[in-house]
Structure 1
Amino acid sequence: MTELKDYTLYYSPYCPFCVRVLNAFKELDVTVAMKDTGNAANKKELINGGGKGTVPCLKHPDGTWQYESLDIINFMKEKLQS
């Protein structure tokens, strides 16, 4: 298993696009820090940092925020190959 401690995934367990990302991470055998936006503090952190409350969102160590499930999955596949 590859653990990427510097990345954080903001998600909702009820969002099908988040479930898509979670399943892909499981398939890729990768883990990242996770924050459920059902928690008000996590939701506020996402909005303040990323500019919107849309999930899934992957926060990168350089401070960028990546939205869109397929973009997140493709990024992770590329990162793990390099």
Structure 2
Amino acid sequence: MKVIRWVLGRIILVINAVFSPKGLQRDADKQQEVDSQVEKLKLYQFEACPFCVKVRRSAKRLNLPLETRDAKVSPWEQELIEQGGKRKVPCLRIENDQGEVQWMYESNDIIAYLEQRFA
């Protein structure tokens, strides 16, 4: 089963690379404002997870320089479990201006949030 999952994951990554979406164009000032807002967002993900690919494609389409954290790597995995409450990806860590953190799971919820906030 692991071999099948690995092979399918690589196929997903190749397809994603070939059919990569084009990013939204903004003027330089607006893009700089978006970039500063995105600094407070972190996406916990697995590279070949289809739902994570879906979120990353949406972020690319919105031209968001979203920091991704591999949840298989020890410090990020531990942070996801301890602070987010579970080891489930994709998960978007959202820090507001007051320093409060919200953890959002489910790819469709994350995409809706990104589109509502940055489209």
Partner of 1:30: helix, strand, or coil? coil
5+ unaligned residues in a row in structure 1: which ranges? none
Compute the displacement of 1:30 (Å). 0.8
Equivalence map 1:13-28=2 (5 Å): 13-28=47-62
Q: Quote the sequence identity (%).
A: 35
The one-letter amino acid of 2:40's match is D
Comparing both structures, which one devotes a greater share of its residues to strand?
Answer: 1
The match for 2:112 is 74
| Cα-Cα RMSD | 1.1
- What count of residue pairs does the alignment treat as equivalent? 81
The match for 1:6 is 40
Note if 1:38 corresponds to 2:76. no
Tell whether the 8 Å contact from 1:6 to 1:32 is kept in structure 2 after alignment: no
Task: For residues 46-80 of structure 1, give each alpha carbon's deviation from its aligned partner in whole angstroms, at most 9, with x where no partner exists.
Answer: 00011000000000103110000010000000011
Q: Which has the higher contact order (CA 8 A, sep 6+)?
A: 1
4+ residue runs of structure 1 moved beyond 2 angstroms? none
Equivalent-residue separation in structure 2 for 1:21 and 1:42 (angstroms): 18
Compute the displacement of 1:14 (Å). 1.7
User: Normalised by the size of structure 1, how large is the TM-score?
Assistant: 0.92
Equivalent-residue separation in structure 1 for 2:67 and 2:60 (angstroms): 13
5+ unaligned residues in a row in structure 2: which ranges? 1-30
The match for 1:50 is 84
Compute the displacement of 1:33 (Å). 1.9
Equivalent-residue separation in structure 1 for 2:89 and 2:75 (angstroms): 15
Greater Rg over alpha carbons, structure: 2
